[in-house]
A and B are shown apart, each in its own frame.
Chain A
Amino acid sequence: MTEKPDHLPEYLARLADEEAARFITDGLLSGKDSVPSIALNQATEPLPESPRRRLRAIRDLIDDAMYIHRDERPTQADAWLAPRLHAILRLTRAEAADSALWNYLALGVAPDFVVWRHLSETAKVVNAQYFKGPHYKQAFARLWWSAELFRNGPDYEPVVIACGNQDMLNTGLRLDVVDHRPTAQAMVRLLQRGVIRTGRDANALAKVVNTAAVTVMYDVIAQDVPRDGDAVRMWIDEGEGGLTVHHRPLPTGPAEEPAPESSVELLANNFAELFADAPVRGRRADEEEGG
């Protein structure tokens, strides 16, 4: 049984890819073995010590997530955990692009969570990419990035909605089109309105949006406001200052200006129309599929 690490240092660290590979053993992937935490922490590179990198707060959050969703399917934890992880782990995008950070979280901080959340019921193993993998796959990177890309300025509500549909999270996150905020918000809005209900709907929508983006530039017809570096900076500085993020209420993100409502509406309507003629495998046949 994979247990939570015996040894937790005070701050987050980096675990390089080649080092991480050593700890991803068959025993771990099948959920039988724990990670040798002392050996692992000898293989890390330190990051600057700062309150926003305190391990204890992150570990507590993960414990809470597993506790709250103990009687549910572990996939349900994503919508709860994503915004809260994002709010506790205050990172710039450049910092979040470092895979060594996510390796450390998955192997050094919460391997038990990765096994709990991602152990395949049929194969009885965890795909190694949940420990060390691309941003749309890795257990923590996918949550952080979905919060980063689906939040609407300070508002995490769209993240909760997006993460409520596993296909939106899994398929949407890996597409470049969601890098444009009004596009991401418009897709969430269709979920919210019930236009998109099933995983297959979400996949079909992603395909429509991704395909039409070759002929129409959403950035021009549905403009966004420029990125606000200061808002993100201040928000991260709050974390540096040791701000506590409460677990129960939905936290508040960086005070960036939300995506212009008119842009989101325009795209939502466009997408709804396109989705209406798109072929969806099994549409109407199997509607309870949501996770």
Chain B
Amino acid sequence: MKVFPYPRLRGTVSLRVDSARVKAPAQPREQLDSRARSVIERAVALGAAETEDWETAVLTVSATIPSKATDPTGPWSEVVVVAVLTDRTTNTRVTSTLARETEDGRDWCGELQVLRSDIHDRAVLTVQVIATVDGVPGRIVGEAAEDWIVDVRSDVPTREQSFDIKEVGFTKGPRWLQGFSEAPWIVNASGTVPTVHINTDFEGMADVLGAEGRGPEGLVNAMLVSQMAAEVWTAVFHSAIGDLEIEDDGTPLFPHGWQGEVLREMLPDVVPERTLEDALREVHRRRVGATGWTELQPRIQYAAMRRAEVPRVLSETVRGLDKLNREDEA
């Protein structure tokens, strides 16, 4: 729980991207269709632009803040609302001061320029409310509760991210995979994005993976897919827990990116009944400590199985088999 030595705004600060346009040198600017933005997912997909080699994008950002902020009798003066775009992978931070739109001081609007070459794939956009409080200028008095994603690659505005799946023949593929030519698949969670390498040289693998329906192939597919997913989730959990930043009192910090997301999603099953922070501390303690790591493995397996929906798929497979058998008998 956090407290500050000056009054902060109560109430919700929210933001919305109202339009996006891109520009390539010597080409007219392109106004993106509103379908490149999703106010539900809170995401902008600049990859939806038809101008392929665009270099700059301009977003129109609007923010709504509690009207108390600009109340002259309140503790805040010289209120400004600032849009902040950050991309951790490129150490980029772009800010833009929004202009007050309405008399009541609730609505603010402005433009923010994004350089294509400054963003790797996804940047995060938020707004902060800044004011002079008790004579101290530049105090942060409020921040948007929910941020937006600005994706310069994707053409679909979504927050969801997928792990990579690569279909490749292991025998003639990348060197490191050649050693696994007997394996139908390999999960690698050491890269930027966890990747499942599917061995197309493994006979029938592609067929089973593509199979659908309620027949035997479909049942095998469902089982295989959930089995693979369980392995992926086990691997990504280990990878995510493996390299944590530690505070001076030994508290592990949630990592950024997919690692943090994986931990937040799986920890409630690994260490139930604890807060997320405490669960992370517990897992980290067991991993680096003398005891308890081996004992924790079943819980990680359990969490991965649940995440991969193995129990549901197995029950359905069993029922499906019964049905197939009955049909054979009939």
* Chain A residues, CB < 8 A from B118: 92-94, 227, 229
The segment from B27-35, B82-90, B101-109, B205-213 found at the interface with A is: B82-90
Looking at the complex, which one of B82, B117, B191 makes contact with A217 (CB distance below 8 Å)?
B82
A122 at the interface (CB under 8 A from B): no
CA distance A227 to B96 in the complex (A): 11
Looking at the complex, which one of B89, B93, B130, B174 makes contact with A180 (CB distance below 8 Å)?
B93
Contact A176 B88, beta carbon cutoff 8 Å:
yes
Contact B138 A218, beta carbon cutoff 8 Å:
yes
Say whether, besides A19-B174, A93-B117, A99-B192, A220 and B130 are in contact (CB < 8 Å). yes
User: Within residues 109 to 136 of chain B, which ones have a CB less than 8 A from any CB in chain A?
Assistant: 113, 115-120, 128, 130, 136
When C-beta atoms are compared, the residue in chain B nearest to A173 turns out to be B91
* Chain B residues, CB < 8 A from A216: 136, 138-140
A97 at the interface (CB under 8 A from B): yes
CA distance A227 to B115 in the complex (A): 8
Looking at the complex, which one of A21, A179, A215, A221 makes contact with B4 (CB distance below 8 Å)?
A215
Contact A94 B120, beta carbon cutoff 8 Å:
yes
* Chain A residues, CB < 8 A from B140: 214-217
Q: Does more than half of chain A's interface fall in helix, strand or loop, or is it mixed?
A: helix
Least CB distance, A104 to chain B, in whole angstroms: 14
**A interface footprint on B40-74 (CB within 8 Å = 1, 0 otherwise):** 00000000000000011000000000000000000
* Chain B residues, CB < 8 A from A135: 89, 91
Q: How many residues on A have C-beta within 8 angstroms of the other chain's C-beta atoms?
A: 38
When C-beta atoms are compared, the residue in chain A nearest to B195 turns out to be A18
A59 at the interface (CB under 8 A from B): no
Least CB distance, B32 to chain A, in whole angstroms: 19
* Chain A residues, CB < 8 A from B139: 215-217
Contact A229 B93, beta carbon cutoff 8 Å:
no
* Chain A residues, CB < 8 A from B82: 217, 219-220
User: Within residues 5 to 23 of chain A, which ones have a CB less than 8 A from any CB in chain B?
Assistant: 16-19, 21-22
* Chain B residues, CB < 8 A from A220: 80, 82, 95, 97, 130, 137-138
When C-beta atoms are compared, the residue in chain B nearest to A16 turns out to be B191
A233 at the interface (CB under 8 A from B): yes
Contact B190 A18, beta carbon cutoff 8 Å:
yes
Contact B91 A148, beta carbon cutoff 8 Å:
yes
Identify the 9 closest CB pairs spanning chains A and B, nearest first: A92-B117, A221-B138, A93-B90, A97-B120, A17-B191, A179-B93, A97-B89, A229-B115, A219-B95
